[in-house]
Structure 1
Amino acid sequence: MLTFYLWIKSINMGSVFYAALTAVFYFYMVSAWGGYVFITNMIPLHVFILLLMGRFDFKIYTSYTTWYALGTLMSMQIPFVGFLPIRSNDHMASLGVFGLLQLVLLVNYLKYTLSAAKFNKLMIAFGVFISVVAITGLVLATKLGLIAPWTGRFYSLWDTSYAKIHIPIIASVSEHQPTTWTSFFFDLNFLIWLFPVGVYLCFQELTNEAVFLIVFAVLSSYFAGVMIRLMLTLTPVVCVCSGLALGRLFDIYLDFKDVLRSRAEHGSKGLTEVFSKLIIVSTFVFYLYFFVQHCTWATSTAYSSPSVVLASRAQDGSQSIIDDYREAYYWLRMNTPEDSKVMAWWDYGYQIGGMADRTTFVDNNTWNNTHIATVGKAMSVSEEKSEVIMRQLGVDYVLVIFGGLLGYSGDDLNKFLWMVRIAEGIWPEDVNEKTFFTQRGEYRVDDLAAEGMKDSLMYKMSYYRFGDLFGNKDPVDRVRQQKLSSNYAKSIKLDVLEEVFTSENWIVRIYKLKDKDNFGRSLIDVGDDERKHASKRVKRMQTRKKPELDLRV
């Protein structure tokens, strides 16, 4: 917002100083968040629209060239960015507008030096030539690899089904889902109907800053509808436009000059108008007061709760704290070797690394889709096939989130289909999403679940020993509201993994990959009969009386 404010200030004054300040805060944005690309494209789009409106002047030229030159050079000092400003399609709009401004400056010079007929002919030929060269050059540079193509996140903004089909890792993130109407009303409150009024007022003025607000409002409204996380880009312009609308309303209804004059002429009629205006002003003050109350509550309650410690309300209204995550990470930190490697879904990677201080295979930096797909495959296939993957990765422990006992809906079984889809994108011959649905197309976890579901490692780790908690009664998964038969639930076994920790509410479960035997075989490698004999031999050796040692020389 400070970058945008300084940009408006610079084009209004044509100031190199304010344009340089714009570049400084743009550089801060680049160093802080990948969303800086929004600014990188917003400012050139604003300039391009002003050019189409015939508003080119030297203030715009000075401001943009200063911002682009300094901002680009400073942003290239960030290792994450590097040469992206000149080698990425995401940045080509700013580079293109920079070149366009130089051409416009040349055109203005030729306009005053050539006759009208020559100028028109030259402009037509010049325009066609520049367009063909620019488009051809961009396409060829992209094909040759000189310029990076558009990213998957860019395509998912314009085609809402693109990510689900081509890049399921993007679609699997909850904050990448389309925004619901309830989220708009919850976040914006009564500003949701003041916002369009403010945009309408901008159309009435159409100054340079008003054009910027219109472009900002249109783009951010679309992006916020595509992804819920992009509400971040919408809320600032909603506040600005709503502020314009409220300011105009207060200007009208707090102006009592005409009312007092009318009262002097008509007596009681003027008093009625004063009273009416005060009622309207009081209404808006009431709205603003409760808007502050709502924002304070939403910030402190909905947007400030840590994801590690969960809170729930009992029927009597008392609050209970669910500390399973921290409890499990503390156990990992204190009871496992420092060089242990933990396999878990990427959602918990940063937490395991930060709180348990253990190595994970995938984390919240989702840049390596193949690596994430490998973990997804290990969770999706049978225990026998998963063991091969875990041995190759060097897995020591496996962590899984299960909310069936408590009713915690954010568990891994609810995310499981995304693991399957991501794995299927890399290994379609090994993982097929259809095998996890019943013949009727149902996603079930009870006795009627699909064989692919029952056979998966994720399913076995989630429901292992679940039936023991209910005795002879049939256990119920409170998240999916499905009942497993007691006999079936107790028949779920694990061979290569052994349970080493389950949190108080069964939300976090940790398993250890068993060591191979003296012949380098896992328990799956040996047959059932041999496994039973081996187990009996171990028991006999444990109960056999040890001979006394003869210490005489």
Structure 2
Amino acid sequence: MSTAYPLPLDVPSSTVKNTASLLRIVALSLISGAAIASRLFAVVNFESIIHEFDPWFNYRATKVLAAKGFYEFWNWFDPTAWYPLGRVVGGTVYPGLMATSGVIYNFLHAINLPVDIRNVCVLLAPGFSALTAWATYMFTKEMKDESAGLLAAAFIGIVPGYISRSVAGSYDNEAIAIFLLMFTFFCWIKALKQGSALFGTVAAVFYFYMVAAWGGYVFITNMIPLHALVLILMGRFSDRLYVAYSSWYAIGTLASMQVPFVGFQPVSTSEHMGALGVFGLLQIVAFAQLVRTHVSSQQFQKLLQGGVVGIGFLGFFAFIFLTYKGKIAPWTGRFYSLWDTGYAKKYIPIIASVSEHQPTAWPSFFMDLQFLIFLFPAGVILCFRELRDEHLFVIIYAVMASYFAGVMVRLMLTLTPVVCVTSAVTLSTLLDTYIDPTEPTAPVDDTKSESDAVSVAGNGASTSAPAQQQSKKAKKAAYRALRRRSMSV
């Protein structure tokens, strides 16, 4: 491994590697501590309290879960919500946040640490911000190396765009969602690079956790299929892609349908149809690769052209027919407003009335991302230099997240991680370039070699010395004359 300065020759490589690993762990621990500490000012200065409306509702739901158990929470009817109608809470919320706090609360009590459920809820977001830093480190390490990963972890730990959603007392779904987002993407990249069904399954498990925690899981549902589709169109289909996507989609979709609030939406709504279509396309491409090994090239071309046209028309008309019959639900108002920014204002004013659903003002990008906004484009360009499969994922992620962050303030949260990743790649590349551990060799002085080559007289004295002295005197005289002329003018 490269170091910033030459090491003694008697130091074994294993010692260098172990020391570097220890320093990385120490650095990540310090970054995690900084991420947690920067979110505790409200608690330290005042008191441990839940703030904002949605966190208060989540806190009340978590108290029911901790006191009465998960089954009672699942069937809990809250008469104070949506008064006077009331609300069946279990089937109308994403339960991941409450379940996470309940598990932590029960675990602490099991090891005889009687912590109040309120303190668990208050400190959940700062705790998960440290986990987000670790997940971002692992994701960025797959893009470049460990140094870029450490920079990305440091950025995500202190960037305002993420701090605003993860301060102590902000007990909302986003408190755990960004960690799940980054770790799911990390598992997807690992599954794709290794062709591992194990990592594909782990990605599916964390995708299920994300579905249970936040409605923004639809971003993952469309990002991974879009990445797979672009790889196919670029001619990069491989067994690794087939294994990774098939294991993630099959297990992740079945698992996500176990969340009551989601139900059969993964197979019946428009925002999930892209993932299903790419899954079917992968099966067709894999079957075509199998047929290609058993028939001649001419026959394969004819079969491929006819099959693509036929299946394409069949799939398109089937989608139109099922949508017309109501079997596939159209885009909901909140998702449709991402494509038509004026839709909610005209037809669903209650969505437009929420400040988080308004288009993002330009100063918000600079306030939430600080100097990282200037490093962000350079990092995307650097990804084009190698353009491996994982770099293509970052490019697609950057483009899509930039658009969505521009049309809705709330989605600045999904842009922040990729900005930290690409900025870390940029800064790490600069450091690799300008802090080069190799020692440069001294340049050869051509003028000195020419003077050494001057012919020497028989008595050993240089014959060119008087000529050099005369030329110096002539230059000085010309300089004095030029100076007198300028002064007279």
- Equivalent residue for 2:13? none
Structure 2 residue aligned with 1:180: 361
Partner residue of 1:66 out of 240, 247, 259: 247
Q: Which has the higher contact order (CA 8 A, sep 6+)?
A: 2
* Aligned counterpart, 1:131: 312
**Paired position in structure 2 for 1:234:** 415
| Sequence identity (%) | 57
Residue identity opposite 1:29 in structure 2: M
TM-score (norm 1): 0.47
Cα deviation digits, residues 138-192 of structure 1 (max 9, x gap): 1111111111111112221111111111211111110111111111000110000
Match in the other structure for 1:54 = 235
Separation in 1 of the partners of 2:254 and 2:208? 9
Identify the match of residue 22 of structure 1 among 203, 207, 225: 203
- Is residue 2:307 matched to residue 1:122? no
Residue 79 of structure 1: which of 248, 255, 260 is its match? 260
Secondary structure of the 2:293 match is helix
Pair 37,264 (structure 1): closer, same or farther in 2 beyond 3 Å? farther
Change (3 A) 1:217 1:262: farther
Q: Which residue of 2 aligns with 1:202?
A: 383
Matching residue of 1:160: 341
- Paired with 1:264 and 1:183, the residues of 2 have a C-alpha distance of 54
Q: TM-score, normalised by structure 2?
A: 0.53
Query: 1 or 2, which has the higher helix percentage?
Result: 2
Shift in alpha-carbon separation, 1:264–1:159, aligned structure 2, 3 A: farther
The letter of the residue matching 1:223 is F
Moved over 2 A (4+): 256-266
Following superposition of structure 1 onto structure 2, how do residues 354-503 of structure 1 map, counting pairs within 5 Å? none
How many aligned positions are there?
A: 267
Pairing 1:2–2:206 present: no
Map Cα deviations across residues 21-56 of structure 1 (whole Å, 9 max, x no partner): 101111110000000000000000000000001111
Q: What residue identity is the alignment partner of 1:183? A: S
Q: How far did residue 257 of structure 1 move?
A: 2.3
**Structure 1: runs of 5+ lacking an equivalent:** 267-553
Q: Distance in 1 between matches of 2:426 and 2:276?
A: 35
Partner of 1:217: 398
Q: Which residue of 2 aligns with 1:99?
A: 280
User: What SS does the corresponding residue of 1:257 show, helix, strand or coil?
Assistant: coil
Any idea what the Cα deviations from partners look like across 1:215-270, whole Å, max 9, x if unmatched?
0000000000000100011000000000000000000111152546559999xxxx
Task: Tell me by how many angstroms 1:197 deviates.
Answer: 0.3
Deviation at 1:134, TM superposition (A): 0.6
Cα–Cα, structure 1 residues 200 and 168, in superposed 2: closer, same or farther, change >3 Å?
Answer: same
Shift of 1:73: 1.0
Partner residue in 1 for 2:374: 193
Provide, for residues 287-317 of structure 1, a one-character-per-residue CA deviation record: whole Å limited to 9, x for no partner: xxxxxxxxxxxxxxxxxxxxxxxxxxxxxxx
User: Runs of 5+ in structure 2 lacking a partner?
Assistant: 1-181, 448-489
Counterparts of 1:258-407 in structure 2 under 5 Å? Answer: 258-259=439-440, 261=442
Distance (Å, rounded) in 1 between the aligned partners of 2:374 and 2:391: 19
The separation in 1 between residues aligned to 2:301 and 2:377, in whole angstroms, is 41
The CA deviation at 1:112 is 1.7
Q: CA RMSD in A?
A: 1.9
Q: Secondary structure at the match of 1:113?
A: coil
User: Which of 424, 427, 441 does residue 243 from structure 1 map onto?
Assistant: 424
* d(CA) in 2 for partners of 1:39, 1:210: 17
Query: Which residue is 2:292 aligned to?
Result: 111
Q: What displacement does 1:60 show?
A: 0.6
Q: Matched residue of 2:331: which SS?
A: coil
CA distance in structure 2 between the partners assigned to 1:50 and 1:225 by the alignment = 26
Between structures 1 and 2, the one with greater strand share:
1
Which residue identity lines up with residue 350 of structure 2 in the other structure? I
Q: Distance in 1 between matches of 2:347 and 2:339?
A: 14
Question: How many Å separate the matches in 2 of 1:146 and 1:126?
Answer: 26
Separation (CA, whole Å) in 2 of partners of 1:189 and 1:126: 51
Mark the CA change 1:32 to 1:119 in structure 2 (over 3 Å): closer, same or farther.
Answer: same
Which of the numbers 291, 310, 332 marks the counterpart of 1:151? 332
Distance 1:75 1:261 in 2: 64
CA distance in 2, matches of 1:158, 1:2: 27
Q: Label 1:9 to 1:262 Cα distance change in 2 as closer, same or farther (>3 A).
A: farther
